[in-house]
Amino acid sequence: MNERLDALRTYLLKKKHHAFVRTAEEAGIAGLNERFAREGTPDQMRSAMVFSEMMKNQDPVILPGEKIVFTRTIKDVPFIYTEKEWEGIKATHYIHERGTVSNISPDYETTIRLGLGARKDEVKARLAQGNAGEEGKIFLESVLKCIDSLQDLILRYEETARAIGAEDTAEVLSNVRTKGAGSFREALQLLRIIHFAIWAADNYHNTLGRFDQYMYPYYRHDIDNGILTPGEAFDLLEEFFLTCNKDSDFYPGMQQGDNGQSIVLGGRDSDGNYLFNELSEMCLKASYELRLIDPKINIRVDSRTPDEIFEMGSRLTKIGLGFPQYSNDDVVIPGLVRKGYSEKDARNYVVAACWEFIIPKVAMDIVNIDGLSLAACVKDALPGLKDCKDYDAFYSLVDKEIRKEADLICAKHKDLYMIPSPMMSLLMDGTIERARDISLGCKYNNFGIHGTGLATATDSLAAIRKYVFEEKTVTPERLLAALKADFKNDPELKELLRKEAPKMGQDIDWVDSIGTDLLDSFDKALEGRHNERGGIYRAGTGTAMYYIWHARDLGATPDGRTAEENIPANYSPSLFMKQKGPISVIKSFSKPHLQRVINGGPLTLEFDQTVFSNEESIRKLGMLVKTFITLGGHQLQLNTVNREELLDAKAHPENHRQLIVRVWGWSGYFVELDECYQDHVISRIEFGV
Amino acid sequence: MTTGTIFSIEEFAIHDGPGIRTTVFLKGCPLRCTWCHNPEGQGFEPETMVKKGEKSVCGERISPEKLVAKLLRNEEIFKMNGGGVTFTGGEPLSQAQFLLEVLEKLGGRIHTAIETSGYAPKEVFRKVTDKVDLVMMDIKMVDPKRHREWTGLSNALILSNLETLIGSGKPFIARIPLIPGVNDDRENLEKTAVLLEGATGLQRVELLPYHKTAGAKYPMVAREYLPGFDTEIPPRLDTEPFEKRNIKTMIL
């Protein structure tokens, strides 16, 4: 990192730029909703008007040494509805999370290439066709309004740059205000502007997609034409990464850090080429040097990916940011095709905010619409245990519960309403031509359901199969009584179930096959169902925050887990499994039919930081990752942790402000997390030397 | 039929040879190195261990067949990654008959290594090292008197086995635990380097610096940790005697 960037990094970490920030109320734009309500403004126009006011009231701020500019100076985005209006909408509609468009992968590439001017002409031309209908016309006008107001802000930034004598920055801004990017720097600046814009348009979990692919032509162009040296390009790249950490305190998420700024590197194309280029490598290096939580790095790999890539990734893992996360093209692509995505689209997959597989440009999937607790399905089947003559009979009860739960979940997603986003619409395929806001749907409109508590469910069934049916050493009555009493009446049974009973993650085939059955049942339960937008449902292995929520009402489980204990995050072994080691874990967790659970959700392995002391150990970590991928694992995240440090950070947060941990599908600053998430990170099993 | 006694099987052992490896710990050792961090590996019989207030038996008798079946479950993974199995201890050569049967049954299907103190009858040492692909041998101290003082036994047999090993041309790694004030002095390292100079099978020297936590397991087996040296002083990490003789050296 050069001195300029180091100073900028320190400046941002000290949050000095927050001095320029005011609230929407202070900016005088908080009351727009009242006016909209009075005047009956259509929702699309409301979104455009709020965006326009957000742009108008930004103060162009150029931080010391910045070459890539745009800093958010209004903290919160005014809501387009009054409270009363929103209550009314909520009463008759299903609202996903905050209600705005989120967690999709926008098409930055087209706008960076063509420029805002050309995009504006495209919208105007569509309007001129005169056949968009009343709604369509409002939509197109809303998009125009967004582009205009964004261009105005770019112009004001340009003037500010000139005023402080930053002629080069002014030149870049002058170009990207109307034209497509002509250089790597312009491409990064325009990307920064668009990304800034969608955040300011109240969209969230704004992913960055296949950054190394869509930015590469600009990088190549500048290197080949002697415009930039690789070192200069690297500095610009680092600066862009820094910009992702600039305004993130104002980005909404479940927890601070859960902001979805993921990038995806590599991947294999249909000709069999592995698309990992110089820029991809630079991204890993930049992240290594900067040691910040954003952007969160993902690498698309497969069984033929060269070992060096896994080594490069492992080097980054070692420093403890909780990424890169890996996904396996060999599994994900056919899995997506199986769910109805075209081969071409499937090949272009990225990850959403955490790990859900989505398609840039064309998918308005809601990948985290709900979670199904597999562990709860096992519990709900328990009253029937005493009447089952064998394990299979009991499993069919569990299968029924999964189906029942799927019925309930799918019935919930009716009359979905999403707040329009003309700004985001500009970045999605076909919206202008259709003259329809992206919130109303796109080529793919699928819903994803997390499958939580897989290990808890599997281990519970394994214990039942072994002790109730095979060895007949535990009666159903005794088990149910113990669960009811949270094992307080039967500590002996608790010990047996926790410590002696076999668990998923120990590479025991019959146990792991229960995990396979559960995921198959989950996928089958969603098969053939369509949501109201014509999309399908996708089963997944992620948990998001459900690992806390679903554990709360679960009560004690037959794997020996007590009521107050958590369930594992994502696709991971039980928190109290007797470890055989990481090889057994990756074997167990690569056995299920992972193409069927293509909503995603990674196996998580935690390692003690001291394990990776030298180059050879980093190479071996790379081998471990590659082995999981070769065995058919779908997704993997690795964390290096230091338990002592985590405990100390809980006690003395002031000394650990920069300590970064992986939470569920994202990395954040440990001291900024709620205590339940901190404790979960501490309780996860780590592998020592 | 021979059975062996093992006290642990560890997957993904990073520092015990090439590739992805599983390490098998054979129980029992003739040496009593004062810095030993695996006191539960010294006795030959299974024994009680208390970890975080929970009692367990440390040590499991196992047949060669059963152990081999366990190890071969990961055959594919070992092969994929140029890895295999490492036998350590305790002192694996102290259960030579068992070890030989295991090696026999593995039949060369996976890469094998032993980690040994070198303390074993000449014939046993020769037979076993002949059967494995890689030998990792400790050379704790060259001076016989000091060796007896710190490990309880003379190193005559060890040095003579080292000579056999060098003479055989078998690939090996020499390992030196660096114990502060015990063997990390220039003189000992110089003498060790002299012994190793020109050995054709020598892949590298690995220096393993003493770590303060070495005594952690003693209370678990109801013993007192009495290292006899100042554990607070970090050992000297001196690679020069090896490097000046062009011997590749690595600090683990």
- In this predicted complex, what is the ipTM? 0.94
Distance (Å) from the C-alpha of residue B114 to the closest C-alpha of chain A?
18
Predicted pLDDT at A216: 98
Q: Name chain A contacts of B19, Cβ cutoff 8 Å.
A: 620, 623
Q: Name chain B contacts of A491, Cβ cutoff 8 Å.
A: none
Q: Indicate which CATH number applies to the domain containing B110.
A: 3.20.20.70
pLDDT band at A504, cuts 50/70/90? very high
Distance (Å) from the C-alpha of residue B6 to the closest C-alpha of chain A?
15
CB contact under 8 A, A613 and B74: no
Distance (Å) from the C-alpha of residue A499 to the closest C-alpha of chain B?
12
- A376 in Cβ contact with A453 (< 8 Å): yes
CB contact under 8 A, B20 and A627: yes
Residue A314 to residues A309, A518, A613, B223, Cα–Cα distance (Å)? 9, 32, 12, 39
Predicted pLDDT at A689: 38
Predicted pLDDT at A169: 98
Q: Work out the number of other CB atoms within 10 angstroms of the CB of residue A307.
A: 13
CB contact under 8 A, B81 and A687: no
Residue B167 has pLDDT above 90, yes or no: yes
CA distance B232 to A144: 70
Residues in chain B: 252
| Helix, coil or strand: residue A522 | helix
Predicted pLDDT at A688: 54
pLDDT in tens, A49-95: 999 999 999 999 999 999 999 999 999 999 999 999 999 999 999 99
Low-confidence winner among A124-133, A252-261, A330-339, B168-177 (lowest mean pLDDT) = A252-261
User: Which residues of B sit within 8 Å Cβ distance of A?
Assistant: 9-15, 19-20, 22, 73-74, 77, 80-81, 83, 250-252
pLDDT band at A641, cuts 50/70/90? confident
pLDDT in tens, A296-329: 999 999 999 999 999 999 999 998 888 999 999 9
Residue A608 has pLDDT above 90, yes or no: no
- Which among B12, B251, B252 is the nearest to A583, CB-wise? B12
Beta strands in B149-201 (DSSP E): 172-178
Average pLDDT over residues A120-145: 98
Q: Work out the number of other CB atoms within 10 angstroms of the CB of residue A133.
A: 11
The closest of A538, A317, A293 to A409, measured between CA atoms, is: A538
What is chain B's mean pLDDT, rounded?
95
Tokens of A131: 């056949």
CA distance B106 to A626: 25
Residue A253 has pLDDT above 80, yes or no: no
- Which among A613, A620, A627 is the nearest to B80, CB-wise? A627
How many structural domains comprise chain B? Answer: 1
Average pLDDT over residues A434-447: 98
Residue A687 has pLDDT above 70, yes or no: no
Residue A686 has pLDDT above 70, yes or no: no
Residue scoring higher pLDDT (A184 or A612): A184
- Could you tell me how far CA A622 lies from the centroid of its own chain? 23
Predicted pLDDT at A546: 84
Distance (Å) from the C-alpha of residue B192 to the closest C-alpha of chain A?
24
What is chain A's mean pLDDT, rounded?
95
Average pLDDT over residues A316-344: 96
- Which among B73, B80, B250 is the nearest to A630, CB-wise? B80
Q: Which residues contact A210 (CB under 8 A, 6 or more apart)?
A: A263, A264, A265, A267, A348, A350, A360
pLDDT band at A161, cuts 50/70/90? very high
Q: Name chain B contacts of A626, Cβ cutoff 8 Å.
A: 80-81
Task: Give residues 561 to 600 of A whose Cβ lies within 8 Å of B.
Answer: 580-584, 587
Structural domain for B52, as ranges = 4-251
pLDDT in tens, A380-418: 999 999 999 999 999 999 999 999 999 999 999 999 999
- A94 in Cβ contact with A410 (< 8 Å): no
A624 touches chain B (CB under 8 A): yes
Q: Name chain A contacts of B80, Cβ cutoff 8 Å.
A: 623, 626-627, 630
**DSSP secondary structure string for all residues of A427-454:** TSTTHHHHT--GGG--SB--EEEEEE-H
Average pLDDT over residues A534-558: 92
Q: Name chain B contacts of A587, Cβ cutoff 8 Å.
A: 74, 77
pLDDT band at A9, cuts 50/70/90? very high
Predicted pLDDT at A208: 98
pLDDT in tens, B185-198: 999 999 999 999 99
Average pLDDT over residues A512-528: 98
Average pLDDT over residues A329-333: 98
Q: Name chain B contacts of A507, Cβ cutoff 8 Å.
A: 73
CB contact under 8 A, A616 and B22: no
Tokens of B114: 């032993």
pTM of the model: 0.94
CB contact under 8 A, B19 and A580: no
Residue percentage of chain A with pLDDT more than 70:
99
